[in-house]
A and B are shown apart, each in its own frame.
Chain A
Amino acid sequence: PGVPQGSAPVTSLLSLAVTSEQIEHLHRRFKQLSQDQLTIRKENFDSIPDLEFNPIRGKIVHAFFDKRNLRQESDGLAEEINFEDFLTIMSYFRPIEMNMDEEQLDRFRKEKLKFLFHMYDSDHDGKITLQEYRNVVEELLSGNPHLEKESARSIADGAMMEAASICVGQMGPDQVYEGITFEDFLKMWQGIDIETKMHVRFLNVDTIAHCY
């Protein structure tokens, strides 16, 4: 009831194997979050208690408004998103289908990794710099007063060095590793099965019968 019908982007999303029942569920959730408005703003995410615990809460909420994730041409952050945008972001977390071929699987994986990449690359320049990575680590460790900033930094630096060694090999003393590009990012995740880690699977809610 009340789900926007007949708009082209929604039907293309329907091909993303989210069933109409799931869309209805998501729509209800959207209405709950938006308090019956047509759009959601960042503040609306404050009403979710489970999310409060999450250290990277800020980045997750940010991801919903990131225009790169919303597949919009321009750059930067949107102020508010409507239900279509909400579904677009949710589609990054859809689970794999049994009947996907190689090419689809590859595209699937790239999409998810791109989403993750955007989460790290906060200044939208297409590279994850050392500072940006440190940022993420600090957020992940935030709230624990016993862990000093130094530890967070060393964790970040260590990981960055490993990333560099994978991507660029041995660097000369005067070479500066600028940052992880998306291609490097993909290389790092080769061989790791992220598709099964980064999805939210709906239970089959067998609410009896639609009749159309």
Chain B
Amino acid sequence: MEVLCTLGQVGAVWVAVVLGLVMLPSALGISLGISEAYMWVLVKTLEWATIRLQKGAKKPQLQMPRTPTANGIIERDETPMEKEIALLHRADFEFSHIFYFCRKGFEAIVEDEVTQRFSSEELLSWNLLTRTNVNFHYISLRLTVVWVIGVVVRYCFLLPLRFSLAAIGITSMIVGTTIVGQLPNGSVKSYLSEVVHLTCSRILVRALSGTIHYHNKENRPQKGGICVANHTSPIDAIILTNDGCYAMVGQVHGGLMGIIQRATVKACPHVWFERSEIKDRHLVTKRLREHVADKSKLPILIFPEGTCINNTSVMMFKKGSFEIGGTIYPVAIKYDPQFGDAFWNSSKYNIVSYLLRIMTSWAIVCNVWYLPPMVRKEDEDAVQFANRVRSAIARQGGLTELPWDGGLKRAKVKDTFKEEQQKNYSKMLVRNGSVG
């Protein structure tokens, strides 16, 4: 009996804490500063750990320039093909051309720019998570003790806390939107739906210990517009909805995701496509166009890369989103890998293990930049427009731009692409007067 009593009391305290410290502030949109305090402690600990690691180094560090590992482990000579071959040029056509391709081939074998983007960024210093411990070895007892404490804190304290918060967040989302969905369409309904979406988003962000810095809020996407952003993980959407309301676009899923989708679409006009509809590009474009044309509808949120990239680069934007028309509001999202790796490597982890990893990381810290709106110019086609938007996002977020298709994660290079490159090379040879 007594056990039940105490359990009941603990339960009551727990509920009170959650309501007071999490739900109420989320609903009102204010912050109690708990996250900030946590982050401060975390940063101090990691700094201390880094200093210990540096002291533990027995080899003197070479004074070579340190380059962020995100961009590769080998030094690439970026001399364009023409210049390089001109330098080696002795007579018309020579063995020299083979050097260029030989070297490029070897560089590709040691490390290729594309595959690199589909695995997590390597860190320059350890952040006390075992999963990033590829390069680091045992240093000292003190450090190991701190690491063990870290594990205990993460798994026994943070994980249950976060898990329950996430459960609360998702349940409130489903319940809240179902209730709001019963109301007749009107301004009251839209207002309430916004409140519900925002609150639940904020709860979910707290569930991940997310610290998000929004920049240039004056450029926030307006109604009737299209918001495009670079894609790193499924939580990108939550990061963005934490600060505004969007109409999501996506495929209908089964299971829990499906329940959420069905509930939310009652309250707010999200655009969910059946699997069969997605194949028909014209249908998709038509529906999105209708949505955008209605200026009272929320801006739609699209991730044109089509797949998750590891947040060091921006890959090719699919032109479909840019053919719809309307104003494009680009958004750049950059995660700080020091506190937790947000990238979802879908070939390595399924969604459940991914979420588990996220919830046992220290925190999710990211910067979100709202860029000024862009419109397609008259003489631009969809592809050029897509590239222009992509450059703006890459520049703001400090990411590199790659012309590759994110689909390369699973498929091989298209033949047309290959032939393009080979044509360039042959054209150059012919120009150099090597023919006949």
Contacts and interface: CB of A to CB of B under 8 A. Distances in A.
B326 to A, nearest CB: 33
A140 B97 contact: yes
A200 B138 CA distance: 31
A131 interface: no
B139 A209 contact: yes
Interface of B: 50, 53-54, 56-59, 61-62, 64-67, 69, 72-75, 88, 90-95, 97-99, 101-115, 122, 124-126, 134-139, 404, 408, 412-413, 417-419, 421-423, 425-427, 429-430, 434-436
A90 interface: yes
Contact of A158 (B92, B138, B417): B92
A159 interface: yes
Given A25-B73, A49-B413, A211 B56 contact: yes
Interface stretch (A67-75, A101-109, A141-149, A169-177): A141-149
Interface of A: 1, 21-22, 24-26, 28-29, 32-33, 45-57, 60, 90, 93, 116, 119-120, 136-137, 140-144, 146-147, 150-151, 154-156, 158-159, 162, 188-189, 192, 194, 197-212
A203 B98 contact: no
B166 to A, nearest CB: 33
B423 A50 contact: no
13 contacts: A47-B115, A48-B108, A52-B413, A52-B417, A93-B103, A140-B98, A147-B435, A155-B92, A155-B429, A200-B74, A204-B66, A206-B62, A206-B66
Contacts of A201: 74-75
A199 B104 CA distance: 10
A56 B135 contact: no
Contacts of B69: 205, 207
Contact of B124 (A146, A200, A206): A206
A197 B53 CA distance: 37
A119 B423 contact: no
B99 A198 contact: yes
B110 A49 contact: no
Contact of A143 (B74, B91, B419): B419
B90 A155 contact: no
Top 3 nearest A-B pairs (CB, nearest first) are: A143-B422, A144-B426, A50-B108
B305 to A, nearest CB: 16
A208 B53 contact: yes
Nearest to B103: A198
